């Protein structure tokens, strides 16, 4: 049927343009750093960037495989789709916001353990890029929603803007070294998050208030984690503990603080995900604990 083929091609072309723009944005900064600054700065930048993108990469893969067909199937039930979208944002906040705090405060130990002592110049780059970890992960949720609802050309336009911001920002950022490139890419990631969230809200007729409320649980946990982990990190570095021991302690302390602050959360700071899990996942079957 010509009408069916035309419909598929129209959707497919828009989807392909989005993918091309997104790929250009992902590799464009590496291309510019390597071309303008050379191989050594590119190695430092790319390794720090890779650490920052790990949550976004794996969470994005899960969302695309699971939520994309679900959003597409339920696209006419806007209320249900909006609930799942907001629940996804809350879950990402619970994961990525504390992880961003952890990577920022423990960047020195992360680089030295994962890459080695010769890569210490990448610490400042990782500190800057870690500030964008949440935004980089969260826009994957909007990305999946928008493509699932079929707004591929509106999505493509925003991905094109994102690509231009990355390329232009990275080029001019090279004048201030790798930190300049990192700040420019961070700005592009934040703007992409804003643009994609705005389009998601437009498609769902969603107000800003429930969207902001979904961030409170993640911010609550991140607040306590920032206080405790910063004190622990300062103390360990003052005593010059072994870097492997430091990172292990930072991981354990972060896990405990996140768990305790999540359990003790109340009111608007209590994750909706907890109550949703108890209601729909039938966790009671495992016993009272």
Task: Please enumerate in sequence order all residues whose Cβ is within 8 A of that of 26, keeping only pairs 6 or more positions apart, or say none.
Answer: none
Concatenate the DSSP letters of all residues of 167-211 into one string. Answer: HHHHHHHGGGHHHHHHHHHHHHHHHHHHHHHHHHHHHHT--HHHH
Instruction: Extract the runs of DSSP E, i.e. beta strands, from the chain.
Output: none
Per-residue pLDDT of the chain (289 residues; tens, 9 = 90+): 888 888 888 888 888 998 899 899 889 999 999 999 999 999 999 988 888 887 777 777 777 777 778 777 877 788 888 888 898 889 889 989 999 999 999 999 999 998 888 888 899 999 999 999 999 888 888 888 888 888 889 989 999 999 999 999 999 999 999 999 999 999 999 999 999 999 999 998 988 999 999 999 999 999 999 999 999 999 999 988 899 999 999 999 999 999 999 989 888 898 887 777 777 776 666 766 5
Alpha-carbon distance of 109 to 106, in angstroms, equals 5
Degrees, nearest 5: CA angle 230-236-240: 140
């Amino acid at each position: 049927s010509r009408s069916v083929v035309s419909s598929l091609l129209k959707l497919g072309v828009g989807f392909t343009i989005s993918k091309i723009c997104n790929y250009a944005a992902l590799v464009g900064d590496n291309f510019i750093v390597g071309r303008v600054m050379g191989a050594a700065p590119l190695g430092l930048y790319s390794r720090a960037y890779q650490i920052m993108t790990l949550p976004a990469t794996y969470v994005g893969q899960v969302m695309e495989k699971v939520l994309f067909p679900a959003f597409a199937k339920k696209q006419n039930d806007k209320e249900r789709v909006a609930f799942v979208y907001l629940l996804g944002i809350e879950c990402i906040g619970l994961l990525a916001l504390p992880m961003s705090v952890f990577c920022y405060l423990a960047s020195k130990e992360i680089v030295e353990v994962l890459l080695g002592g010769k890569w210490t110049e990448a610490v400042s780059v990782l500190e800057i890029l870690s500030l964008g970890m949440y935004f980089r992960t969260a826009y994957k949720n909007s990305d999946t929603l928008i493509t699932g609802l079929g707004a591929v050309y509106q999505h493509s336009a925003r991905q094109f803007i994102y690509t231009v911001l990355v390329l232009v920002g990275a080029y001019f950022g090279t004048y201030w070294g790798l930190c300049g490139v990192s700040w420019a890419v961070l700005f592009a990631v934040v703007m992409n998050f804003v643009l994609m969230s705005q389009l998601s809200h437009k498609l769902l007729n969603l107000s800003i208030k429930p969207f902001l409320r979904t961030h409170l649980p993640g911010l609550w946990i991140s607040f306590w984690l920032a206080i405790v982990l910063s004190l622990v990190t300062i103390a360990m570095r003052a005593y010059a503990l072994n870097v492997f021991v430091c990172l292990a302690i930072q991981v354990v302390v972060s896990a405990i603080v996140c768990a305790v602050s999540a359990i003790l959360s109340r009111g608007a700071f209590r994750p909706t995900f907890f109550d949703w899990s108890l209601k729909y996942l039938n966790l009671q079957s495992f016993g009272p604990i």
